[in-house]
Chain A
Amino acid sequence: MEKYSHDLIIVGAGLAGLRAAVAAAEVNSKLDIAVLSKHHPLRSHSVCAQGGTGAVMREKDSYDLHAYDTVKGADFLADQDAVEFFVRQVPREIVLTEHWGCPWSRNAEGKIDQRPFGGHTFPRACFAADMTGFLEMHAIYGKATSYNNIKFYDEWFVTSLIVEDKAAVGLTAIEMKTGEIQAFRAKSIIMATGGHERIYEFTTFSHSTTGDGMAMAYRAGAPLEDMEFVQFHPTGLVPSGVLITEGARGEGGYLLNANGERFMKKYAPEKIELGPRDVVSRAEQTEILEGRGLQGPYGPYIALDLRHLGEERINLRLPLIRDVAIKLGGVDPVKEPIPIRPAAHYSMGGIKANVKTETPIAGLYAAGECSCISVHGANRLGTNSTAECLVFGAVAGEEAAKHASSSSLHEVPQEKLSAEENRIHEIVSRNGNERAPAIRDEMRRIMKEEVWIYRNGPQLETALKEIRQLKNRFRSVRIEDKGKPFNTGLLETLQLDFMLDLAEVTIACALPRAESRGAHSRTDYPKRDDQNWLKHTLAYCTGDGPRLEYMPVTITRWPPVARTY
């Protein structure tokens, strides 16, 4: 095992991680910064973000409006001090990325153009065509590589975080190319590892969003906050879950059930297909549950029908959607409806962090989707996630840099390193009779059948039991590949291990929350209950599963009212 030392280590090179790296490098050009990522930075999930980044850029808009939209979208579970800070910071971030070269779409005056987005009362989504996250990522990465004091460790898979006396002192990582386990020491560590959507099979997210950082922080003693809140998007392409953008419905696409009915007329008589995400997702799920889904090899689905728009209009207005449907779904929307169904689309929960991105562990910071600060509360608004990554990525970079400048490196105890080495070695050399893909699929079946859009007490209890059984079975997982270099069989098994913890936490947090709020819909408790549940859930890791605590929501200016649109 080799030992590496840096002042600051950033785990994850998505929007949040890269933004943090640039911010830290700007604070102190002497600071020795490392960015570890299990993929090359430009392979991070963030490149998939499409629609836009919400920012108050024009006079008719205001911070208060953006803040209120966010708080209302969050079903009042967001911390309002964090939201107020957040909305004031985004415009600066947009301008910075622009200065670095991001090709934002422009209006006729040559200024950054903005468009409307669900849940926002002002057209404030800055966008770069429909490749916003992609182009932000390339702009920030282009900038990040220009600093001499940022060292990139691409394709280094972090396996554990090392905490001594309630302070983060280092971590362990597998250098994928060689398969060697290496140790790192640092004065500050930022987690920017993204969401955990892959605990679900059907998700809009990349294969790599397996929540590793959340699980590592949790195991190291940091609490996870509000993990029961997972957002669902109404139009994931069957079978892969790839996002079909709202544009398809915006242009006049129909959602049809097996009887060919535009069922949304029933659920949202005015807006029909253009109702808010959660309403449409729930409606689709109801149709499916009541047997009116269409039948396909990958389970029941809903038809997104664009045929009436005609080939010309489709080519003109929705060329990318047509391309995606053909290349990824094997269907041409000009000739047949696109098979879709709701897909897991965001994890509102994450590592508990404050407005300065500090976690309860000294020297450990969290930013981006792996964190919970919380600006999204029970339900995130579209365009607020990339915005959050930029804003709090920058904050994390600055704060962690300051902390690193004023503290010193700690020794990482050898026994902890050996323990981690042994843990991984044991997993590779096991001779059990279980296979990781089978356990993974079973976990995803449970999450789909019992912890999906609609939840209820008995199902969640069953789910918790089943996940715990799976965790037991996991102990007998056998990996056929015993080689060291690029052992993706091993890495996927480690990711599964992380996901099993996170699935357990998600269920354990959902079970007691006896209300429906934002993305958490309980059929046995269909109403929001501010009396008892206007509070954040915190999950701490213990030997036998998560221990839950609760924490008040910070409300500054907007007391909860009914969330209607």
Chain B
Amino acid sequence: MGIKVEKTVEFRISRFDPEQNKHYASTFKVPIRKGTTLLDALLYIKDNFDDSLTFRHSCRMGICGSCGINVNGQPMLACYTQVLDLGADSLLLEPLSNFQVIKDLVVDIEPFFDTYKRIKTFLIKPEQEFKKTDEFAQSPQDLKKYWDLTLCIKCSICNSACPAAIDAKFLGPSSLTATYRFISDSRDQGLDERLKPMADNVWLCTQCNSCTMFCPKKLPCANAILDDHSLLVEAGNIPRTVKDVLESVYKYHNPMGTHQSRRMEWAKDLDVKTFPTVAKADVLLFVCCSNAFDPRNQEIARGMVSILNRLGVDFATLGAEEWCCGDHMLRLGEKGLFEELSAHNVSMFEKLNVKKIVTISPHCYNTFKNDKPYSDAKLNVQHYTQFIAEAIEQGRLKLPNTVKRRIAYHDPCFLGKRNDVYDAPRNVLRSVNGVELVEMKRTRQNSFCCGGGAGRVWTEEADPDKRPCVSRVKEALELGVENIAAACPFCITTLEDAVKVLDVESKISIKDILEVMKEAA
């Protein structure tokens, strides 16, 4: 234990005085030792500098859930975080997001707890069972099935990070996880009753994974919600919008509802090779249904072809044999359909002895890397931003033109949050002459989802102010950038939609990184 003060850290704290209805900021310098937690620092400030500084705390051991705050944009427990571990000399402390601020760092958590009142947080069984004077039996194996999900301390950190939670209709990550906790408890017999409260809103979850990333108790919330989806799919209790998407995929093997024979139309005039017409190619380009069929996004696919050609890469696509990768279907809970799609694609990869896959969409990339059976096939897969960033680094790609523009990069969740790919896309953008890359306030790990994941891109029905994409475009507008660049077809679709909804087409436009590159080519 070091006696010495290791350093002095500047705490910038976002304040709110409810009586004056005034937002302001205060700055304090706090001596930090080994062992000093964020909460210790806050208490130090309150004791020594300003007794009006207001925050919640109680257990100071990470179990009561009181002390969640945003620190440099990331939600965390103040009592369970060593200041030195943050590795910063200056910290910005703000109240949790998605809640009304009562005072300083204290937010109104009542709506958060209200979501628990919409579900049943106790065992459901026939009445006479409760007359038993013995415990209900449960094997250690059965206990294990839901144990992790019982550890939620209701700190609301997940809710603060959740893009779907901007719509109060959404039950929220922790209540949806609690629902699944009871469903998977072998003692419980309330399945039907438990499905009801979530049936009309669980689909708002985009599977962005923020809840899971920031949960201080490491609850696998996003996966629990996926399992909720599955149960609803099994029960046939799904909204029409979701049904339509799934039906398209059953029928056509793509969610766009277009016959697979037209899958290569985007490349009509481009002379792109397809398997099995060619027997061999160095790289398999996995196009993605959205890029293949959506006229807007076909431009992205075409941009990719021109880069590959410029690099002289020997590549081919699966042509009509490229089925939907299934990422959205899996996350909508249609596990059976996902199995069918993935089995087909994996068999194609194997049949053609594919050595390297480059995907245009982060969703294909993610599922190839992380979901069985793809992950078992140990595919050598890159997202296109990684592939291009490598070429740039090796000096193989130079783009002649200048694109003089301020651009904010929006991290697609399935690239960033789910796969930690943050730098490659930025490096690609920076390599374009004239581009000034601007960071949004919510960026990298703390980025804010566009709202398109888990099929929501096709099922969106919420009011504009409850749509994540609208919030995101507003954030970019504040920066005065001309473009938001993304590297995902679904981000492009949702964000572009938000630009239209907000009627700001004259101020800002949405570009895939490939489109920015095309301008520079």
Contacts and interface: CB of A to CB of B under 8 A. Distances in A.
A486 interface: yes
Among the interface residues B1, B59, B63, B153, which one has the most CB atoms of the partner chain A within 10 A? B1
A134 B109 CA distance: 20
Contacts of A324: 61-62
B48 to A, nearest CB: 8
Given A39-B58, A99-B130, A238-B1, A484 B66 contact: no
Contact of B143 (A105, A109, A138, A238): A105
A480 B51 CA distance: 6
Interface string A465-484: 00000000000000111011
B102 A486 contact: yes
Contacts of A208: 58
B35 A95 contact: no
Interface in A435-458: 435-437
Interface in A90-130: 92, 94-95, 98-101, 103-112, 129
A296 B79 CA distance: 21
Contacts of A39: 56, 58, 64, 66
B151 interface: yes
Q: Is the interface of B mostly helix, strand, loop or mixed?
A: loop
A339 interface: yes
B18 interface: yes
B88 interface: no
Contact of A480 (B17, B52, B102): B52
A65 interface: no
Contacts of B102: 177, 485-486
Nearest to A486: B103
Contact of B136 (A47, A98, A486, A489): A98
B66 A43 contact: yes
A296 B64 contact: no
B140 A139 contact: no
Nearest to A242: B61
Interface in B334-367: none
A276 interface: no
Nearest to B110: A154
B58 A145 contact: no
B120 A146 contact: yes
B58 A111 contact: no
A329 B62 CA distance: 13
A431 interface: no
Contacts of B154: 42
B138 A110 contact: yes
Contacts, number: 193
Interface string B294-308: 000000000000000
Among the interface residues B80, B140, B182, B185, which one has the most CB atoms of the partner chain A within 10 A? B140
Contacts of B65: 42-43
B123 A101 contact: yes
Contact of B1 (A42, A98, A339): A339
B349 to A, nearest CB: 38
Contact of B113 (A40, A104, A107): A40
Contact of B51 (A42, A105, A106, A481): A481
Given A43-B59, A99-B136, A101-B123, A479 B51 contact: yes
A92 B50 CA distance: 49
A273 to B, nearest CB: 21
Contacts of B33: 297, 330
A109 B142 CA distance: 12
Contact of B60 (A207, A296, A486): A207
Contacts of B269: none
B57 interface: yes
B47 interface: yes
A436 B58 contact: no
B106 interface: yes
Interface string B52-83: 10111111111111100000000000011110
A145 B135 contact: no
A117 B137 CA distance: 24
A60 interface: no
Contacts of B60: 206-207, 240, 242, 328
A42 B123 CA distance: 19
A47 B63 contact: yes
B35 A327 contact: no
A135 B150 contact: yes
A480 B50 contact: yes
A109 B137 contact: yes
A331 B122 contact: no
A143 interface: yes
A61 B268 CA distance: 81
B250 interface: no
Contacts of B56: 39, 43
B463 interface: no
B135 A112 contact: yes
B63 A48 contact: yes
B33 to A, nearest CB: 6
Contact of A103 (B37, B66, B116, B147): B147
20 contacts: A95-B134, A98-B135, A98-B136, A103-B147, A111-B137, A134-B153, A143-B122, A177-B108, A206-B59, A207-B59, A238-B1, A328-B35, A329-B1, A437-B51, A480-B51, A481-B52, A483-B18, A483-B19, A486-B103, A489-B52
Given A240-B60, A488-B54, 19 more contacts: A40-B66, A48-B59, A48-B61, A103-B150, A106-B140, A108-B140, A110-B137, A131-B63, A134-B153, A207-B57, A240-B40, A327-B37, A329-B35, A330-B34, A331-B34, A339-B1, A480-B51, A483-B19, A488-B55
A-B residue pairs, 7 tightest by C-beta: A142-B121, A481-B52, A110-B137, A330-B35, A437-B47, A489-B51, A330-B34
